[in-house]
Amino acid sequence: MYFSQILCQTGYMVLIPDWFRGRGFDPKVDPSSFVRETSQWSGLDKDWQERVLPYAKENGAKVFGAMGEKRSNAV
């Protein structure tokens, strides 16, 4: 989150959608089921098209970028 603060301070709009809908990950449970349930593009795309993108455009966004973390042991 620190990097997003730096971007905001330099004038960028930073959006961090709650793709998990407030649902936390239980570290005692195998992460693969959590990832499978919360990372289906069919649901995320709907959120992007109907919520995130319109909000960003309504607030002046014209160019979009994304950042993330690449993990070698991703599920």
pLDDT tens per residue across span 35-75? 888 888 888 888 899 999 999 999 999 999 887 766 555 44
Residue holding tokens 């570290």? Answer: 27
CB 75 within 8 A of CB 28: no
pLDDT digits (tens, 9 = 90+) for 6-39: 999 999 999 988 888 888 888 888 888 888 888 8
CB 75 within 8 A of CB 38: no
Burial 11-42 (b: 16+ CB within 10 A, else e): eeeeeeeeeeeeeeeeeeeeeeebeeeeeeee
